[in-house]
A and B are shown apart, each in its own frame.
Chain A
């Protein structure tokens, strides 16, 4: 079939540029300016997909983003293929390849079509009702249900396209490139305001740009020519930015909007190379004009979903804009005048309009007179009761409507046709208005929800048909009048235009049109993509669903990729009719962003791969790399996890590192620990208030371990703080808690204790920390800094000295997280790698062993030291951790103190930290495993394992756990039930190694 449905007269398609493309493997041709939909229609292809549930053949139904049926898979490349794209929005390019979705083996012969004959068995809620019993079978059902769900196929390889984000600031943002948007943008820009006009099509002009009949005239020019001149002028204004192919996805508060700009989707593969595919605009506008237009409604009647049934306004666009006839013999079915415009356009282009069926008893307007003059037959007060034709409509049955519109009367007339245009009136696109917080009101005379001007958020306005103006003169005059007030304009050229247009006088609306068959034997589709019918909505109401939000979810009406743009209004209308409520009271379902689907690519922009999150590396990171460390992510930090040697496994490496640290010397990069410099005359008092223990008496040069609580008494963070001077401390925090601790301390200083003179500065990145531990650590330090007195008298445990390595200042603390004799060297980060290498060099003779976080965890667990965040989870008090010794009993107050004797925190059966030993010393428990007393059902869960390791120094498995009433249960036998076995354990003390702390001074 060639382009035999193309007519030659029109301005928008460049018939000199022929474009070849493939649809379902078949090579076809279109022209520059076509969409995939218009090119398919020109090739006389209507059937493009199958519906979701019944697999009914479906055709192109619209010409825009509301398209429910013609959604296709674009491209075959596993990295670039794009599912669920609307054929009506894809601009044709050379080499375009598209496929039908949701059909197998082909759209023409689809096995799933069997569902159509089973449809009486597949009512609303079918899956909910059927797959409930027996509950244990769900896992089996799920496989098949998941398999049959979904439309297109996701790409299976990483996206190779580039995406971008851009911040935009403007005085006025105009959304919509139709006549009201163009006038608004022009008025705004001419006033000198920095204006942006966003248009989701490739050309400006909306539907007026092809409204070429002389019924519609502005200042004696046909409306399309007048508008064309306006657009030419508009393009010359320097302070106006026009964004075509751009769709506003979301309208948030404070005039913050997100829009997706398509940059390359209309280009052929070789033109796309190296270009950014889509750009997400993050727009902050002082004022916003919503001119998003309206979408034509379908009509709801029996078998209203056949290929060849198209919205009447879309038929007009296909003929007037694309020069494509959607059929050779077209009938129209309407409840309003706009189908008459389509009839006039078709008639002018030489397409036979067989009959217009109008449910109104009367219609007299300039349009209807012109139709009658042209000799086109209008059946007034009639309805369509059925359509025929499986893969393409071929006939319609027409009957007279009763006066009340609830029945059909008389005899059936059948008309042959290959295309049916339907028009059920217009729905203003109020999505963005309601997203921004605006409230709607219902206009009864033509059944539309429109923005309520009294409930419109400030600094925005809706104009044109999105505000409920549908006639040309109303659109222009109201837009000009309202924009003038909104932008505070003086007199302008658009206030006294001479506008001629037809005015609609009669209105009649029937949400669900009657048929000569009982409703149970009809298929009046509401949501074409999800296959929900008027019957389903009525069933849901009978089954007791009342809220429209529930009916929506139960029937899936409006839940397709088109989000019910087309026929949500009919669902509401049918609910209102059935329940006898007023639609205004019923309201609408919630309009949520995005307005049209967004790609994940556009959402994430450049924040992919290594740019997904910040990576923090310590100053010694390169050394770790050179020495083949495996890394662990701790927050944003990369920390060495372990240093495998000669193909060691993690277990082997950790065992070796742990042994070495206790037998001779180990070295750890502890630079990631948070470091907060605290200065000010009230620093001691401040520490008194934030830590549980006493700080005022800490001597200069001494270190102390502190526990920080939340106000609810639960352990929040811990670390060692050193007094550097009279009014100067350096606090360390956990790696993950650093930022939060600083914020929390700042909060108290600024808001609760502004009288304290204390300054907090984070120095985490400025200082690097290396911890050298083990019996030979002292000898290593002595080699690096021979001048330093390391005697226990001069430099005891929990003290600090300033020193120098060559000329580099360093702070040395004698503190230990392993229980071994150890030192922490803190130096300015730019010297850290050098100092680290000196330690390694000096430690060579003692087999100094670098170790990572895993060995650090193991060594501290041997000593029963907690890690906040691993052994604690925000529900444990110091007492729960058996750390009562750290509570300053004499202190009047500190953060969390009062909570430590609330009725709940003094309960004796709280979960408490204990040690665990497995009966089989080789058995290592899984962290997170549950602890129980007996296996008799119902099993009472007593607690869980928080830390677990095989200790090479004790040659047995050790673990920490939190257990209900654990403090009292020392010696008790418990069971850890695992998938394949039950492990017997005994509750012990939390300290497994060197209980007398002899090694600290060894």
Chain B
């Protein structure tokens, strides 16, 4: 079970958080302009990487803030956390 360093609250147990899947998938600004395939790409397609993955996490039983996490899925090591809207740290 991870320890996650919430950028607002500090280190907390994983049980306080919920994972929101892959990060940096922006909702299209003009969905009506998109073809079915383009919309499906946004709606359904997610990466499942063995290795470094960018994820959204929510401190749902704490400050309820969403933020981003860089996690290595092969060993669960968290390399960085950063707030929504911030640039991902360059690998």
Contact = CB atoms under 8 A, between A and B. Distances in A.
Interface of A: 252-254, 256, 284, 437, 457, 711-712, 743, 746-747, 750-752, 754, 892-893, 897-899, 902-903
B43 interface: yes
A898 B1 contact: no
Nearest to B3: A254
Most chain B CB neighbours (cut-off 10 Å) among A252, A750, A897, A898: A898
A751 B31 contact: no
Nearest to B14: A254
Contacts of B36: 902-903
Given A898-B32, A902-B39, A903-B36, A751 B1 contact: no
B27 A752 contact: yes
A362 to B, nearest CB: 45
B84 A754 contact: yes
B48 interface: no
B40 interface: yes
A893 B31 contact: yes
Contacts of A902: 36, 39-40
B39 A898 contact: yes
A253 B66 contact: no
Contact of A437 (B28, B31, B75): B75
B5 to A, nearest CB: 12
Nearest to A253: B76
B65 A750 contact: yes
A555 B28 CA distance: 54
B27 A253 contact: no
B75 to A, nearest CB: 6
A437 B85 CA distance: 33
A437 B32 CA distance: 46
A709 to B, nearest CB: 12
Interface in B47-91: 56, 58, 60, 64-66, 75-76, 84-85
A56 B20 CA distance: 54
A898 B38 CA distance: 11
A173 B34 CA distance: 56
A892 B28 CA distance: 13
A750 B27 CA distance: 13
A899 B84 CA distance: 26
Given A750-B84, A903-B36, A711 B43 contact: yes
10 contacts: A252-B1, A284-B3, A284-B13, A437-B76, A457-B75, A711-B43, A746-B66, A750-B66, A754-B85, A899-B43
A252 B13 CA distance: 13
A898 B34 contact: yes
Given A253-B76, A743-B60, 16 more contacts: A253-B2, A253-B75, A254-B1, A254-B76, A256-B1, A284-B3, A711-B43, A743-B64, A747-B20, A750-B66, A750-B84, A751-B56, A752-B26, A897-B31, A897-B32, A898-B31
B3 A893 contact: no
A254 B3 CA distance: 7
Contacts of A897: 31-32
Contacts of B58: 743, 747
A756 B76 CA distance: 34
A254 B56 CA distance: 20
Interface of B: 1-3, 13, 20, 26-28, 30-32, 34, 36, 39-40, 43, 56, 58, 60, 64-66, 75-76, 84-85
Nearest to B64: A746
Which 6 pairs from chain A and chain B are nearest by CB? A898-B31, A256-B1, A750-B66, A253-B76, A752-B27, A898-B39
A750 B31 CA distance: 20
Nearest to A713: B43
Contacts of A751: 56, 66, 84
A256 B12 CA distance: 13
A892 B30 CA distance: 9
A711 B46 CA distance: 15
A892 B75 contact: no
A260 B75 CA distance: 26
Contacts of A893: 30-32
Contacts of A252: 1
Nearest to B1: A256
A699 B36 CA distance: 37
A711 B25 CA distance: 13
Contacts of A711: 27, 43
Most chain B CB neighbours (cut-off 10 Å) among A437, A750, A899: A750
Contacts of A752: 26-27
A506 B84 CA distance: 63
A904 to B, nearest CB: 9
Contacts of A750: 65-66, 84
Nearest to B85: A754
B43 A712 contact: yes
Nearest to B40: A902
A677 to B, nearest CB: 15
Nearest to A760: B64
A459 to B, nearest CB: 11
A449 to B, nearest CB: 20
A747 B66 contact: yes
Most chain B CB neighbours (cut-off 10 Å) among A457, A746, A750, A751: A751
Nearest to A710: B43
A940 B3 CA distance: 51
Contacts of B43: 711-712, 899
Contacts of B64: 743, 746
B26 to A, nearest CB: 8
Contacts of A254: 1-3, 76
Contacts of B76: 253-254, 437
A272 B39 CA distance: 64
Contacts of B39: 898-899, 902
Nearest to A754: B85
Nearest to A742: B64
A922 B14 CA distance: 54
A212 B5 CA distance: 51
Contacts of A437: 75-76
A903 B66 CA distance: 33
Contacts of B66: 746-747, 750-751
Nearest to A893: B31
A457 B27 CA distance: 37
Nearest to A258: B1
A763 to B, nearest CB: 15
Nearest to A255: B3
Nearest to B28: A898
Nearest to B27: A752
Contacts of A743: 58, 60, 64
Contacts of A712: 43
B31 A253 contact: no
A83 to B, nearest CB: 30
A898 B64 CA distance: 28
Contacts of B84: 750-751, 754
Contacts of B3: 254, 284
A893 B34 CA distance: 12
B31 to A, nearest CB: 4
Contacts of B75: 253, 437, 457
B87 to A, nearest CB: 15
Contact of B32 (A256, A284, A892): A892
A256 B36 CA distance: 45
Nearest to B26: A752
A1001 B32 CA distance: 40
A437 B28 CA distance: 39
A250 B54 CA distance: 28
A123 to B, nearest CB: 39
Contacts of B60: 743
Nearest to B65: A750
B38 to A, nearest CB: 10
Contacts of B56: 751
Contacts of A754: 84-85
